[in-house]
Chains A and B, each alone.
Chain A
Amino acid sequence: MTFSSSFLALLVYGSLGWCMFTALGLAALLIRDIRRGEIW
């Protein structure tokens, strides 16, 4: 039994999309914290 091509595609594209999303999310969180004066 082997991992299918579509499962591999899900892992690869899913992880890259997830990474992009988290990078944008981190930047958005930082802007929110700066606006609220809660950065540190």
Chain B
Amino acid sequence: MSVEQALLPPWLGWTLLLGFSVLWIGLGVYWGRRNKSFEDHALAGRNIGLALGSATAAATWITSNTTMLAPQMALQLGVWGMLAYSTASLGLFLFAPMAGRIRQLMPTGYTSGDFFRLRYGRVAWGIFLAFTLFYSLTWLVSMAMAGGILLNTLSGIPYGWGMSVILAVCVAYTMRGGLGAVIGTDFIQSLIIIIGIVVVGIAVLAHVGVEEIHANLSRERPELLNVLFPAALMAIFNNLLFGLGEVFHNNVWWSRAFAFREGVAGKAFALGGLIWFPIPFAAGFIALASGALDVPVPSADMVGPLVVAKVLGLGGAVGIFVIVFCSLASSIDSLLAATSDLLTEDVYRRLLRPSASPETLKASAQWITLGLGLFTWLVCLPRIGTLASVLFFAGPLVGAMIWPIVTGLYWRRATPTGAVGGMLLGAGIGLVSYFAIGFYVASLVATAVSMVWVLACALLSRSRFDWSQLREAS
């Protein structure tokens, strides 16, 4: 987007970008002083309290998608679009009891990979690593790319510069401060995002009432108020299962379960879900106001910033810039930390250097974070615009991992054959349906196929897993 079309002058965008960059890196360096070993770096000493735990669960799930895509979904799918998006909070609610059980079964565990290796053996572990690394790297690249595009659209900062700065800042404070810095900054970022969304919402309502929005929609876009909007109803299931698969399998969430103090994990994820649940409505309804406010929307993905800039002027544009920057940073830092821990623990330590000291592992995790940042930067540099579809492509992969994880955590009868077959068959048939039918059924088919296979294998099995084997994770 050209500088003339941007909502903020570039000098103001650069000032905000540099101000927040200095703040996050400063905090990362300050908090990183406490880290002596890999456990301190990767799991913040396993002592995170309820306030930071709840905030990090919510903040990590508030990506730039939440703040930018929620208005877009509202504009395209109406009231159901917001409801569909909010179902992603179910992932956090349902992971709450699982997090408590993970902490109880694996008090010295490090990653979700540890669970697969100890519960199902090396074949399932290998498949899990392939699936989760593909998904995590795709998510990381899409977030960094979204960062460059959004900063360019909002302030005219060139794409390459915006993407490079946001990535470099997240790499710097994650590398230096580890998970402690990620969780600490998540707390500040979550408060900024929530307060920003409330201020923006109140400002919009000061300009146009709900009655007026409803009357305008009834006249101009009645389908957005339709209780039986078919496309929106299908989006609910896809979003729900994608969210469940993502939260259940990804090390972003498992590393937090391991990092929270004993007794905190379940409560923190439940509170995180409660904090996250209203965000798609609060951020999404402003798109529904675009018609009543007479805001022209040239592209649906910019509806949120355009409405806010209309009602709040320069102040609103600054607010949106800060909200988007915080949303991006809170997700990119978490992905960098969790993926580097997965590579350090599951690849470097378990496959290459089993005798590595805690200090060596900490240094390795820091270098791997830097390597991940460089890899992401190289992939993002050409500005390929098709990564959102690659992320949807990963839907069947994460959907196929739901049942192996749930049954593996709670059911002694769950077997390696069930887990391996469930992941491969579910992902395979899910991908076929992705191409043959559409993205909106892919996760559903993958989850259903995986469920049938996993449950059948468990019911036919005579083996009973010994839970104490999971305690060998350290």
Contact = CB atoms under 8 A, between A and B. Distances in A.
A8 B286 CA distance: 12
Given A11-B285, A39-B52, A40-B44, A22 B210 contact: no
A8 B214 contact: yes
B279 A19 contact: yes
Interface string B198-232: 10011001000011011100100010011110000
Interface stretch (B243-251, B270-278, B329-337, B392-400): B270-278
A40 B52 contact: yes
Given A8-B214, A26-B275, A30-B187, A39 B198 contact: no
Interface string A2-40: 111101110111111011101100110110110000111
Interface string B245-279: 00000000000000001000000000000110111
A19 B45 contact: no
Contact of B228 (A1, A11, A29): A1
A30 B50 CA distance: 8
A39 B48 CA distance: 6
A27 to B, nearest CB: 7
A18 B51 contact: no
B281 A15 contact: yes
B418 interface: no
B87 to A, nearest CB: 14
B108 interface: no
B79 interface: yes
A32 B288 CA distance: 39
Which of A3, A13, A22, A26 is most buried by chain B, counting CB atoms within 10 A of its CB? Answer: A22
B225 A2 contact: yes
Most central of B51, B225, B274 by chain A CB within 10 Å: B51
Given A5-B211, A12-B285, A20 B198 contact: yes
Contact of A26 (B48, B190, B225): B190
Given A1-B226, A1-B227, A11-B281, A33 B198 contact: no
A8 B226 CA distance: 12
A10 to B, nearest CB: 9
B416 to A, nearest CB: 37
Given A32-B51, A33-B52, A16 B227 contact: no
Contacts of B215: 5
Interface in B449-467: none
Given A9-B210, A16-B198, A33 B50 contact: yes
Contacts of B45: 40
A38 B261 contact: yes
Contact of A22 (B184, B214, B228, B274): B274
B69 interface: no
Contacts of A27: 191
Given A23-B191, A26-B55, A29-B51, A8 B79 contact: yes
Identify which of A3, A13, A32, A40 gathers the most chain B CB atoms within 10 Å of its CB. A40
B49 A12 contact: no
Nearest to B48: A40
A3 B49 contact: no
A32 B49 CA distance: 10
Given A15-B278, A29-B54, A2 B198 contact: no
28 contacts: A1-B226, A1-B227, A3-B78, A3-B225, A3-B226, A4-B214, A7-B79, A8-B225, A12-B210, A13-B210, A15-B201, A16-B202, A16-B278, A18-B282, A19-B279, A19-B282, A22-B58, A23-B198, A26-B55, A26-B194, A26-B275, A30-B52, A32-B51, A33-B49, A39-B51, A40-B45, A40-B48, A40-B49
Given A11-B281, A22-B274, 16 more contacts: A3-B79, A3-B225, A8-B79, A8-B213, A8-B285, A11-B79, A15-B282, A19-B278, A22-B194, A23-B191, A23-B194, A29-B54, A33-B52, A40-B47, A40-B180, A40-B183
Interface of A: 1-5, 7-9, 11-16, 18-20, 22-23, 26-27, 29-30, 32-33, 38-40
